[in-house]
Amino acid sequence: MKSLSTLFSGLNSGPAADGGLERLVTAYAAWVIRWRWGVIALILAAALVVISGARNIGFSTDYRVFFSAENPYLKAFDANQNIYTKDDNILLVVVPQKGDVFEPSVLAALRDLTEAAWKVPFATRVDGVTNFQNSTAEGDDIIVQSLVPKTGPIRRVAAQAARTAAMNEPLLVGRLVSRDGASTAINISLSLPQKELDEIPKAMEYVSGLVEKFSKAHPDIRVATTGMVALNNAFVASSIEDLTFLIPLMYVAMILGIAIVLRSLAGTIATVTIVALSSGVAMGTAGWFDVLINPASATVPIIVTTIAVADSIHILISVLRETRNGATREAAIVESLRINFNPVFLTSLTTLIGFLSLNASDAPPFHDLGNLSAVGVVAAWILSISLLPALLAVLPVRSSSGAKDQV
């Protein structure tokens, strides 16, 4: 078996080692192996400090994040809201399973739901068929009252009168009541102060509880939630779902794939460590710099994971191949870094440039996506040429004959 000194001698005397960079990489690899425990401690400490910033991560719930402050369409929209009104809304679409919305029991349920909707946080107005102010004339008098009695049971005669009035009211038909009377809507207008990040989630949490309670009391009436506030909340909810479900699932699939390819427990552990730290550094950086996560930047962990796996696998495959050929573990690590340093560096550099070019996009979320992914690319490269060889120098790396030579 080749010793470390023998390999160094061979590398320094062969034509492949004539370049100063290769000699520098060889010396660097030897230094990492010699001080492996110190390298592991230093790199882990630095990475964990950066990752700790993840506790400050917040999620953006405002559709305005997709437009820059100089966007002419956003400016026109804001000017229009400043002149008239600035309201966001939650729309509850109500569809009875039997009959139509003008059945007495359905109208009674709608009346209760409309009244309860006033308690939604930040609600300033609630419009529905039951509280619509219907105007009628009696002689010289104009009588304005709710389309449906505010209290007490709703008799069929009153329900029929409400149907007749509603289906002849242009402000209701096609807006809050379908033309066939099969469905209706309750529009909740909100005035969000836009001072706290949890304003939209707080309103939607209350509405979700309200709808759940209503559905239990009236299982024959279906309620769906939509509107601008619901849309904004859906962006955040889908991002959080990806981070809490899809990404862990991706990690499981990744671990299985790496284990099958490498046939090495130590190699799998080392790769997963590099991947987890690289993704964590990218997201931790977002927390330290108060970058709000949006639907675009929520994909950063997936992107960084892909890059970190590629960096690590190339180095690991070379290490395993060298050990199968008879080299010692230390010599295999040095040779792997010598072979892969330039390719991994150039790949990381071009990938970094590509992600940074996203700063030319008109949509700010893609700036965050590019910058955070770039941080992850740099982190993956640094960890792959420092922490990874140090880990391989202390873990019991054993190569299986079934391990793949090429990836």
Give the pLDDT score at 19: 67
DSSP designation for 63: G
Collapsed DSSP state (helix, strand, coil) of residue 308: helix
Tell me: do 114 and 252 sit in the same domain. Answer: no
Give the pLDDT score at 78: 80
For residue 387, give both structure tokens: 């922490």
Which one, of 136, 193, 212, lies nearest residue 169 by Cα?
136
Most confident of 70-79, 250-259, 363-372: 363-372
Tell me: do 220 and 155 sit in the same domain. Answer: yes
Distance CA 378, CA 383 (A): 9
What confidence tier does 142 reach under pLDDT thresholds 50, 70, 90? low
pLDDT tens for each residue of 102-139: 999 999 999 999 999 999 999 999 999 998 887 665 66
* Number of structural domains in the chain: 2
Whether 271 is in a domain gets the answer yes
Within its chain, how far is the Cα of 26 from the centroid?
41
CATH of the domain at 347: 1.20.1640.10
Residue 10 has pLDDT above 80, yes or no: no
CATH of the domain at 158: 3.30.70
Whether 47 is in a domain gets the answer no
Whether 72 is in a domain gets the answer no
DSSP designation for 242: I
Task: Give the mean model confidence (pLDDT) for residues 247-258.
Answer: 88
Give the pLDDT score at 380: 97
For residue 79, give both structure tokens: 């000017």
Whether 52 is in a domain gets the answer no
Give the pLDDT score at 143: 63
Who wins on pLDDT, 145 or 123? 123
Whether 42 is in a domain gets the answer no
| Mean pLDDT estimate for the chain | 87
Task: Give the mean model confidence (pLDDT) for residues 82-104.
Answer: 87
What confidence tier does 398 reach under pLDDT thresholds 50, 70, 90? low
Give me the domain span that covers residue 340.
4-34+59-64+233-394
Provide the greatest CA pair distance for the chain: 113
Contact 64/75 with Cβ under 8 angstroms? no
Residue 189 has pLDDT above 70, yes or no: yes
Residue 158 has pLDDT above 80, yes or no: yes
Whether 403 is in a domain gets the answer no
Distance CA 184, CA 101 (A): 7
Contact 375/281 with Cβ under 8 angstroms? yes
Most confident of 57-61, 122-126, 173-177, 376-380: 376-380
Which one, of 396, 395, 394, 392, lies nearest residue 318 by Cα?
392
pLDDT tens for each residue of 199-235: 999 999 999 999 999 999 999 999 999 998 998 898 8
Give the pLDDT score at 81: 74
Tell me: do 245 and 145 sit in the same domain. Answer: no
Whether 39 is in a domain gets the answer no
Tell me: do 102 and 221 sit in the same domain. Answer: yes
Who wins on pLDDT, 18 or 351? 351
Tell me: do 133 and 26 sit in the same domain. Answer: no
pLDDT tens for each residue of 325-356: 888 889 999 999 999 999 999 999 999 999 99
Residue 193 has pLDDT above 80, yes or no: yes
Tell me: do 150 and 213 sit in the same domain. Answer: yes
Tell me: do 257 and 312 sit in the same domain. Answer: yes
Among 172-181, 241-250, 276-285, the least confident range: 241-250
Residue 86 has pLDDT above 50, yes or no: yes
Backbone region of residue 406 per phi and psi (left: phi > 0; alpha: psi in -120 to 50; beta: other values): beta
Residue 148 has pLDDT above 80, yes or no: yes
Within its chain, how far is the Cα of 363 from the centroid?
17
What confidence tier does 141 reach under pLDDT thresholds 50, 70, 90? low
Tell me: do 245 and 265 sit in the same domain. Answer: yes
Instruction: For the chain, give the percent of residues with pLDDT over 70.
Output: 89
Tell me: do 260 and 351 sit in the same domain. Answer: yes
Tell me: do 26 and 116 sit in the same domain. Answer: no
Whether 49 is in a domain gets the answer no
For residue 394, give both structure tokens: 């202390």
Give the pLDDT score at 107: 93
Tell me: do 291 and 388 sit in the same domain. Answer: yes
Distance CA 293, CA 368 (A): 8
Give the pLDDT score at 404: 52
Residue 324 has pLDDT above 90, yes or no: no
Contact 379/301 with Cβ under 8 angstroms? no
Instruction: For the chain, give the percent of residues with pLDDT over 90.
Output: 56
Residue 275 has pLDDT above 80, yes or no: yes
Tell me: do 172 and 244 sit in the same domain. Answer: no
